[in-house]
Structure 1
Amino acid sequence: MGERKMTRAHRYPGGRRETVESLLSAAAAVAGIDGLADFSALDDAGALDGLGCLAPAAAGRGAELPPAVVPPPGPRRAAPSGYPTARDEAVHELQLACALVVNAAAAAASLERLVNDHHIDPEGALVFGCLLHITGRSAAARFWWLFGAGAGSRTAAYCLYLAHRGDGEFRDATYWREQAAHAPDEEPRAVAAFDEKQLLPDEARHNLLVQWHSGLAPTLPSALENVINRLVVEGDDEDFGAIPRPSPTLVEDLGRALH
């Protein structure tokens, strides 16, 4: 896979660009967080690692996230009220980030591009990593986030920041937060119309956010999780263990699993 050409965003006819990162604002609105822009905009506002500054109950009321109340980034930032420790905060933030990513309107198209022989989209690696994390495969999720971050996905780098912070690996967390906050050498991506098919059935997507608002780890219905369980696992990586690979029919299989 390393020899395949990796692109930072997919171009559609007419020059239209749609990415998971540019559509996270819509997914955030579904979650009831009206002030959450896409992750790139959060970087510019200095709020990249401020998702967890809202406790679940507050987020559920549609509270905004003004940049002025977001504390400066740092490996030893104290956890906000509602979280016992900064590590607990990061774990909960990562759960929300993954739920938002798989809720994004472009998630399905990005994942389909991940298995394209000609162009592998880094945001597809981000989406697949989030699916793996939601289904309890945290180590394998990191592998795919590394793939996406290395190809230019700032949101994948953000997920790595939260994952390391949640494990108490603050030096690694600091590195990945810096990568996530690094301004890309390209023009900002415009938010496009939401005409993509959804990655997961509506009820499953909704329940991920309901579970998060309730303080629970978001999970998928067993039928959807079984789709992930059936994926081919290649080898046993020394650092990441068993790493599932997305099948060419993964998006289709997820879409019909509950029918």
Structure 2
Amino acid sequence: MPELPEVETVRRTLEPLIKDKTIKNVTVWYPKIIMGDAEQVAKQLKGKKIITVDRYGKYLLIRLSDDLTLVSHLRMEGKYRLVTPERPKQKHEHVQFEFTDGTALRYDDVRKFGRMHLVETGTERITTGIKHLGPEPNSSEFSINYFEKAMAKKKKNIKNTLLDQSVVCGLGNIYVDEVLWLSKIHPLSSAQKIPREQVKILHDNINEIMQKAIKLRGTSVHTFLDAAGTSGNYQNELKVYGHAGQPCVRCSTKLEKIKVNGRGTTICPTCQVVY
């Protein structure tokens, strides 16, 4: 699943492709992608101008004229690409936004898990899945004071805690493995038992890795491509994810892959301490 850095990269590459364009027509080939009545949503979008593209967590917020916002979650495999309307429909293309300038934006999703929800601008945190999200890394809301209090309330292991989007949003399996390795914390550690000084280190490492991953345009280890069809570069910086069986770059111990609540998790059994 694209995580925060990948979705931010999609936002940055998608916005210049579609900003200020007016929607001429919307074709929905797979209605379940659209929350609510797909036919009605298509009618509402007709004639609307794209103002900008924002993001919160892993959600894209396509801002439209007349105070409407199309909230898009890419889930596992969702991708946007700009084409011409005449191009034959590809197997996994499910929605097309045709513009008055002769171009079209298509949404491609192999697994069909992605969703789009048209709402009144300003109501996203009330009417969509965004209402369940916690603060983003590198935001004023994601303060060390907030994070310490959040950790103190969690009895579950730290990996599951960081994957909990209500605690901090935008992290997935890749970046959680990386921040825990960098912070020398074992993923099975109880969140509330991690010493305060380590919680501070973890907080700062989350911010640092998210910032760097965004700068390097995300991680491409499976199928991630941005709106321009380009791969990310952060996969070249990964220290543990995808490196099971290789020596830890910090202590040379062989990295191990374990399961944490069913999720494949790569760790250094020497560097990472269980609390």
**TM-score, normalised by the number of residues in structure 1:** 0.27
More helix by share: 1
Structure number with the bigger relative contact order (C-alpha 8 A, sep ≥ 6) is 1
TM, length-normalised to structure 2: 0.26
